[in-house]
């Protein structure tokens, strides 16, 4: 070993310590910067043979219209894709970790049948993690359907409310009340985790429209611009959340607008028979489908940004637009009658929505 003078050795030691400190600081700063750049919603779908997260044949909780395999869909590749963020990894589902975090809690999905898709997906993922755990099949009382996992002390609920605001009967007419959530809100306060969703029913007209009139404040109309009505309903909901909900006790999520795939020209396939026969994700997300889903998603994000209370957005719109292959198409029933390019096969895309829900819960 070379000898050195005492002053020189002291300077050398201080220099080494300083460089080590700078290096450590740089590593920490790099890690922080990497975490800042991690956007779970910016990525692509990649094939993963370890998927799906559960076997549809072993999950009797799936509605027939979502059970594409049982209805005769011949391909399976659509079940084998995972969402891969560009600069980080989406935490793989850990059913036991999830169960430990939500033990004793009541989880409620509120919305239309797209919420049913996610609710049943979550039930199947949990059942796959605890295949021997007893559970109660869905029981429905009024607008609320409930699946219980008693030994896990876990309650999964779905509340049917396609508009998230009230529809009431007034003078023999069904009125969509854009300024009221009172009919449903009492049930929301009895939960621990809420996941909301609304959009698709705002487009329904004619016999599919479940209301006769729209009430906007004191004004009653036969109809109005649906995007404006949608925004007014969302703002009614946000005012109620900001005023009435203790978000230290109740975690609130809002599911972004789920896209549909009815028009092949939106993904460069004018000859496509809607979503039928599509077996792989698109390389580029499908453009706006003409149903206003992009505009609705923009409005939703604008409204959520204006809130005082924290609401966690499950920003599923863009990542789901790649998945033209994920819909039931003609496999929404065993007779293969009709076409469904709105809902999603299970296992499938809603499983990823629940992984994103899980990833967000891990941070709370």
> What positions carry a catalytic annotation?
113, 340, 343
Partnered with residue 147 across adjacent β-strands are 156
Helices marked H in the chain: 6-37, 95-102, 113-129, 182-188, 226-244, 293-305, 317-321, 349-363
What are the DSSP calls for 215-255, one per residue? Answer: EETTEEES---HHHHHHHHHHHHHHHHHHH--TTT-EEEEE
Q: What angle do CA 361, 252, 216 make, to 5 degrees?
A: 160
CA distance linking residue 46 with residue 308, whole number of Å: 37
Q: Which residue has the tokens 């509340």?
A: 159
| Length of the chain counted residue by residue | 364
CA distance linking residue 165 with residue 179, whole number of Å: 7
| Cβ atoms of 180 and 165 closer than 8 Å | yes
CA distance linking residue 248 with residue 238, whole number of Å: 16
Report DSSP state, residue 312: E
Q: Label residue 258 exposed, middle or buried (CB < 10 Å: 0-12, 13-18, 19+).
A: buried
For 142, phi then psi, to 5°, come to: 65, -130
CA distance linking residue 15 with residue 143, whole number of Å: 70
Q: Is 115 helix (H, G, I), strand (E, B) or coil?
A: helix
CA distance linking residue 359 with residue 364, whole number of Å: 9
């Amino acid at each position: 070993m070379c000898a050195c003078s005492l002053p020189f050795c002291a300077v050398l030691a201080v220099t080494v310590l300083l460089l080590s400190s700078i290096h450590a600081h740089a590593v920490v700063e790099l890690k922080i910067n990497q975490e800042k750049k991690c956007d779970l919603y910016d990525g692509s779908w990649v094939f993963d043979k370890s998927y799906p997260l559960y076997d549809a044949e072993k999950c009797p909780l799936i509605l027939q219209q979502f059970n594409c395999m049982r209805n005769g869909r011949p391909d399976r590749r659509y079940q084998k894709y995972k969402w891969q963020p560009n600069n980080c990894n989406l935490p793989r589902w850990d059913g036991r970790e999830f169960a430990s975090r939500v033990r004793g809690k009541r989880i409620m999905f509120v919305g239309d049948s797209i919420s049913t898709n996610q609710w049943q997906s979550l039930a199947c993922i949990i059942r796959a993690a605890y295949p021997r755990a007893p559970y109660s099949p869905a029981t429905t009382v009024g607008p609320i359907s409930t699946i219980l996992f008693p030994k896990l002390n876990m309650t999964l609920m779905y509340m049917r409310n396609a508009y998230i605001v009230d529809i009431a009967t007034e003078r023999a007419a069904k009125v969509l009340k854009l300024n009221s959530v009172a009919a449903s809100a009492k049930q929301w306060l009895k939960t621990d985790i809420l996941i909301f969703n609304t959009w698709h029913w705002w487009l329904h007209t004619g016999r599919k429209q479940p209301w006769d009139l729209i009430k906007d404040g004191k004004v009653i109309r036969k109809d109005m611009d649906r995007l404006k009505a949608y925004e007014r309903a969302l703002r009614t909901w946000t005012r109620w959340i900001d005023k009435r909900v203790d978000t230290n006790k109740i975690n609130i999520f809002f599911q972004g607008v789920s896209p549909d795939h009815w028009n092949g020209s939106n993904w460069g396939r004018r000859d496509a028979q809607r979503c039928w026969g599509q077996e792989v994700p698109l390389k580029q997300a499908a453009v706006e489908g003409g149903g206003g889903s992009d505009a609705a998603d923009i409005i939703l994000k604008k409204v959520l940004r204006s809130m005082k209370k924290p609401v966690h957005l499950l920003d599923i719109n863009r990542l789901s637009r790649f998945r033209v292959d994920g819909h039931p198409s003609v496999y929404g029933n065993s007779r293969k009658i009709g076409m469904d390019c709105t809902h999603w096969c299970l296992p499938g895309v809603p499983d990823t929505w629940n992984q994103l829900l899980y990833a967000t819960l891990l941070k709370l």
